[in-house]
Amino acid sequence: MKIKALNGFKDILPEDVGIWRRVEDVVRDVLERFHFAEIRLPILEKTELFARSIGADTDIVEKEMYTFTDKQVTMRPEATASLMRAYIEHSMHAARPVQRLFTIGPMFRHERPQKGRLRQFHQLDVEVLGSSSYRLDAELMSLGSLLFAELGVSASLEINSLGCPDCRPAYRRQLLEFIGDRIGQLCSDCRRRSLTNPLRVLDCKKDGCRQQVAQAPSLIDHLCPACADHFSGVRDSLERLSVPYSVNKFMVRGLDYYVRTTFEFVTDRLGSQAAVCAGGRYDGLIEMLGGPKIPGIGFAMGLERLVLLLKSSDQTPGQAAEIDVFVAGLGERGSGYGFALVDGLRRDGLRADMDLDGKSLKSQMKQADKAGSRFVLIIGDQELAGRRAPLRDMATGEQVELALDLESISTYIKERSSGLDG
RNA sequence: GUGGGUGUAGCUCAGUUGGUCAGAGCGUCUGGUUGUGGCCCAGAAGGUCGAGGGUUCAAGUCCCUUCACUCACCCCA
């Protein structure tokens, strides 16, 4: 029986790494423009951290975490909790009043895999601690929209407000009353939701439920004055930044810690996994985890989903050259000389390779072609005797005779290759 | 946890009502006269048809079981 990767765990093969790097490069570039600093966090944390931050009653904590029960540690299902832990542990609030941080890495959830949802998946996690300004909310959404724009992916922004501990309970009671009157018309899932997480009834996908909740009281009509002001501030700021958005009053959050602003970038090209980026404000979280009373907001972007979008958007990157020069050695002497020459070229900053298995010249030419090498240098007994060797330009087929020494060859290739530094 | 779909060469897939059905394309390798890639041509390697059991003279082809993958539900980035 062959050993295979675990269900929901995927290898990212060399042919896909290019697109992943592109995503990561754009992410880091844009984040730096927005003055964010990268932080790298452990993958394993105390189980309690997630239970307290995400919510002990959530599906994630109840049944989706990879936990070593004998050690009470868990593979992180998301990054926000870890980042908060690090922020508190290192008293980062003392270093500067507003911390703008991001991290990229794998997360683990034991869910049933499907399109755009794996058990090990990767997220970009962006968090700002120390400001409750509504402008910050809009700034993060602008950041998200710029990320999509720079990657050439289209996704639309939806926003909502979940209120705060002052206004949500009252709304929740109203909603429960509304649902109670219609409980018979709702699907079985929604009947269960009405007990566990009533807000979730609002975004049920079933038509019957949608019709029923269409007239439901909406969160954003029942915000307390402070939350209402904040929400309208967010909207004004988005308009000032010309970031297109729509209000989705049925949008809910799965994690307990969110308050006020929530937002998602959604797409219709990922099957049922519409959200490619989602986040919101969590003003009480840091305090709840034992830190200072400091507000925060953040979002997570699903990188697998982003990669899927990039692949579907028909942006063929074209095969890049893997190496600058392939050295074709003929016979034992030619191969031996070429072996040392390739090593020298590499030490000189060029990407070089050769065949080590004594293949025919024709076969070596094919290898060079397949690798997209810009040049092929041929070394056989004639060349060793004459101290000169032909260098073939694989694009044009033209060949020049070069003096058979490292410096001449290296210099010639460097003068004609692009994308080399130094 | 629940439901649907699919499992035939490295990859993408054909395989009619069970009877040369073990195939194609791509990829790989070799060759198409001495040491030159792409295109073309020729040839080769490569598969216990996911696994196990059953029906039958005969099973990728029918039945059962099982495993895997996949999409969707739940939930969620």
**ipTM (interface predicted TM):** 0.86
In angstroms, the CA A85 to CA A47 distance is: 12
One domain, residues A108 and A148: yes
User: Are both A305 and A363 inside the same structural domain?
Assistant: no
Are residue A358 and residue A236 in the same domain, yes or no? no
Distance A3 CA to B51 C1' (A): 15
Q: pLDDT digits over A347-359, tens only?
A: 999 999 999 999 9
For residues A75 and A39, state if they share a domain: yes
Chain mean pLDDT for chain A: 91
Q: What is the pLDDT of residues A194-250, one digit of tens each?
A: 887 788 888 887 877 888 888 888 888 889 999 999 999 999 999 999 999 999 988
Q: Which residue is nearest to nucleotide B70 (CA to C1')?
A: A114
The pTM score is: 0.90
Burial of A378 (C-beta count, 10 Å sphere; 0-12/13-18/19+): buried
A238 and A344 inside one domain: no
Pair A305, A270: CB distance under 8 Å: yes
In this prediction, residue A421 carries a pLDDT of 43
> Residue A57 sits in which domain range?
14-167+223-312
Alpha-carbon gap, residue A375 to A394, rounded angstroms = 6
Residue A13 CA to nucleotide B10 C1', Å?
14
Q: A1: which nucleotide lies closest, measuring CA to C1'?
A: B51
pLDDT value of position A315: 61
Q: Is residue A350 part of a domain?
A: yes
The answer to whether residues A238 and A386 belong to one domain is no
Which of A78-87, A144-153, A185-194, A327-336 has the lowest average pLDDT?
A: A185-194
pLDDT of amino acid A316: 58
Per-residue confidence band for A314, with pLDDT thresholds at 50, 70 and 90: low
CA of A80: nucleotide with nearest C1': B77
Distance A13 CA to B59 C1' (A): 38
**Around A348, how many Cα atoms within 13 Å sit in the side-chain half-sphere?**
20
Q: Do residues A288 and A372 both lie within one domain? A: no
Nearest nucleotide over every DNA/RNA strand to the A398 CA, judged by C1': B36
CA–C1' A319–B39 (A): 19
Q: Is the pLDDT of residue A2 over 80?
A: no
Q: Examine residue A185 and state whether it is found in any structural domain, yes or no.
A: no
- Decide which of A268, A291, A312 is a domain's last residue: A312
pLDDT at A317: 59
What is the arithmetic mean of pLDDT over A268-294?
A: 91
Statement to judge: residues A281 and A346 lie in one domain: no
- Closest by CA to A348, choosing from A407, A415, A402, is A407
One domain, residues A163 and A243: yes
Same domain, yes or no, for A399 and A259?
Answer: no
Domain count, chain A: 2
Q: Is residue A178 domain-resident?
A: no
Provide the CATH number for the domain around residue A360: 3.40.50.800
Distance A332 CA to B33 C1' (A): 23
The last residue of one of the domains, among A288, A312, A336, is: A312
Q: Looking at the structure, do residues A256 and A384 belong to the same domain, yes or no?
A: no
Pairwise CA distance, residues A8 & A114, whole Å:
8
SS3 A55: coil
What are the strands of the beta sheet with A37-38, ordered from one edge? Answer: A37-38, A99-108, A120-129, A296-302, A275-281, A259-266, A156-161, A246-247
pLDDT in tens, A197-208: 788 888 887 877
Nucleotide nearest to A385 (CA to C1'): B35
Q: How far is the CA of A134 from the C1' of B67 (A)?
A: 53
Nucleotides of B under 7 A from a protein CB: 1-3, 28-32, 35-38, 68-77
- What pLDDT shows up at residue A420? 47
Residue nearest to nucleotide B31 (CA to C1'): A362
C-alpha–C-alpha distance, residues A119 and A47, integer Å:
18
> Quick one: A238 and A106 in the same domain?
yes
Nucleotide nearest to A382 (CA to C1'): B35
Domain boundary among A286, A312, A338: A312
Domain holding A105: CATH number?
3.30.930.10
Measured CA A314 to C1' B8 distance, in angstroms: 31
Residue nearest to nucleotide B69 (CA to C1'): A7
Each residue's pLDDT tens digit, A29-81: 999 999 999 999 999 999 999 999 888 888 888 889 999 988 899 999 999 99
Radius of gyration of the CA atoms of chain A, in A? 28
Spacing of A373 CA from B36 C1' in Å: 14
Q: Report CA A339 to chain centroid distance, whole Å.
A: 40
Lowest-pLDDT choice from A78-92, A130-144, A304-318:
A304-318
